[in-house]
Chains A and B, each alone.
Chain A
Amino acid sequence: MTHARKSRGPILTPGRIIPLILLLIMALIPALVTSNYLITILVNCMAFAIFGLSWNIIGGYGAQISWCSAAFVAIGAYVNFILTNEAGISPFLTLPLGMALSYAMATVIGYGTFRLRGAYFSIATIAFAETLRAAVQYFKPLTKGTAGIYLTYRGANFWHLTFPNDRPFYFIMLILLVLTLFFTYRFTVSKTGYYLSCIKGDEIAAESLGIETFKVKLRAFQVSAMMMSVAGCFYASFLTYISPASTCSFDLSIKIGVVAIIGGIGTLWGPVLGAFIIVPLIELAAKLLGASGSSNVLYGLMLVLIVIFRPKGVLPLLTALYDKVFPARDAAAKGGRRA
């Protein structure tokens, strides 16, 4: 299904109404739910949905598997906390610096590895993430090392993203999630999005047909890194405390990738679905098995099961159900790349 054809379809299709209903339900939840714990979990779900969507840009749509998401989250988080605590700058104003640093780092990694095919990029991302984590631990005067940084509380202050409870963050994350979904959709129907789909389909063929695969992959990685940095900035303010273990760990990078893979790699709604499955399950596992290491057991188990039984993730199950319920859906959509 192509860009031009989409604009000729009916405006209110089930595929558009269902997300709107879900959005409305999500917006009403804080008014209906009294438990702050549940709100916190839902904020976490939305944060990981945003991380997963950001990862999906390069990992899902471009099939270039990155394991350094936590590094870009950490860049956004540390730039936020350092400037907010030390200089009293609003997190909103720290966003451009975090994005610029992430862009620069993504450029360095991508420039060196995207000319090569195979696993070089993935290996380089692991090396980069570990190097950044070591750097955060080493530069203690700035980052407080392994002790981490607490956000200075400034009362209920939207400008500084400090609140007495997580409810305001619920709406902030919801807005950010909607914006991320919209941006991701626009990205996939942009020229770069189409070229990236070609690269995912067959990189050699794409190159032989004139697509500058190196530039397209690099651009996608830069976009993904900047999105991750923005999400990291808001996520850090929500956590109120960051450390190399919480925002810069390999564990976090895996969790972000797993969210997208389990939900549905290379799909718009897959990471959202994945986040709303994984995050509550991790909470449950922590309660049942104890916090230490239970999440790793859970990712491992889920990943093995998904790779064996549902390699395209859980979302295709829902889309199959959708096709049964709404069989009149435009036949073209079934054959289209975002079917």
Chain B
Amino acid sequence: MSEKLLVVRDLSISFAGIKAVQHLSFDMEPGEIVGLIGPNGSGKSTTVNMISGTYVPDAGTIEFNGRELTRRDSIASRSRMGIGRTFQTPRPFGNLSVRDNIYSILLQRYGFREAQGKADEILELSKLMHLADAPASKLSIEKRKWMDLARVLATEPKLIMMDEVMAGLNPNEMLESFEFIREINRRGITVLFIEHVMRAVVSVCMRVIVLNEGKFLYGGAPNDALNDPTVVAAYIGGGKLDA
């Protein structure tokens, strides 16, 4: 078995007495696409926020690329280690063009001229080249989400945590997004896919982790999750989930 990229052990956090995540443990292998799913309030985004450094866990450990993360590892330093993330609601730098949104981030690793070339590559990959000089604030929701992803790619991440990138997209936009995510993964980037849209999870993910009320509920193949009674009960209280 290859070395784990992400090892989460016994992670817990509470907000004003409410246990948002309790004793959560899971691993990720390099190159995987893992779905992190669960009903609203199950602790998915909170988990992402703990891994990215936004929240400091009350207990438990997070190991990334063989190194245990501590509270001294800031959000920015975790990004530089290779932990990338997007947000449920895209957060573009609305005062900049699409190109500059990506270019500015690349400048952390490259000189001006080199960053320009890399920005063009990422714009091509994310199919945003035709919008390169448009103000980021003017993009549609789909393109904003893609630009968020493109910007994370500019950090040259080892892991991208995609927080509900499919929300608000129509079926065609979703299909395009599936392909984009697969292309990102083909480039060796591990993906933690936080999603509500089961069709997306089944199409894209190699395995899923299901959370409910902050606890680990299920881990395994996406299709099996749809038929697992505990998962179905957590989502709709019984019956069958549609992919």
- Spell out A's residues near B (CB within 8 Å): 1-5, 191, 194-195, 197-198, 200-202, 204-213, 266, 331-332, 334-337, 339
Contacts and interface: CB of A to CB of B under 8 A. Distances in A.
Interface stretch (B102-110, B215-223, B227-235): B102-110
5 contacts: A2-B100, A4-B113, A207-B79, A210-B77, A336-B100
Interface stretch (B10-18, B150-158, B184-192, B195-203): B150-158
B79 A208 contact: yes
A101 B97 CA distance: 37
B178 to A, nearest CB: 24
Interface residues on B, range: 35 or more
Given A202-B91, A331-B133, A337 B112 contact: no
Contacts of A202: 91-94
A204 to B, nearest CB: 7
A267 to B, nearest CB: 11
Contacts of B101: 198, 201
A198 B105 contact: yes
Contacts of A1: 97, 100, 133
Interface centre among B54, B94, B97 (most CB of A within 10 A): B97
B52 interface: yes
Contacts of A195: 104, 107-108
B80 A197 contact: no
Nearest to A336: B97
Given A211-B108, A337-B97, 16 more contacts: A2-B100, A2-B112, A4-B115, A5-B116, A194-B103, A195-B104, A197-B104, A201-B96, A204-B91, A207-B74, A208-B79, A209-B76, A210-B105, A210-B155, A212-B74, A266-B95
Contacts of A194: 100, 103-104, 107
Given A4-B113, A4-B116, A194-B104, A337 B95 contact: yes
Contact of B100 (A191, A197, A266): A197
Contacts of A210: 76-77, 79-80, 105, 108, 155
B107 A212 contact: no
B172 to A, nearest CB: 26
B93 A197 contact: yes
A233 to B, nearest CB: 33
Interface in B12-56: 52, 54
Contacts of A213: 76
Given A197-B104, A202-B91, A202-B92, A208 B52 contact: yes
Contacts of B75: 207-208
A14 B99 CA distance: 24
Interface centre among B74, B105, B134 (most CB of A within 10 A): B105
B99 A206 contact: no
Contacts of B77: 210
B170 to A, nearest CB: 25
B91 A337 contact: no
A334 B133 contact: yes
B135 A335 contact: yes
Contacts of B136: 201
B155 A201 contact: no
B154 A200 contact: no
B6 interface: no
Contact of A2 (B87, B95, B119, B154): B119
A339 B155 CA distance: 26
Interface in B165-185: none
Nearest to A202: B91
A264 to B, nearest CB: 13
A201 B92 contact: yes
Nearest to A2: B103
B145 interface: no
Given A2-B99, A208-B85, A209-B79, A332 B104 contact: no
B112 A212 contact: no
B76 A198 contact: no
Contact of A209 (B74, B135, B152): B152
B93 A205 contact: yes
Contacts of B87: 205, 208
B135 A211 contact: no
Nearest to B107: A191
The 6 closest A-B CB pairs, nearest first, are A201-B93, A210-B79, A4-B116, A335-B133, A205-B91, A194-B104
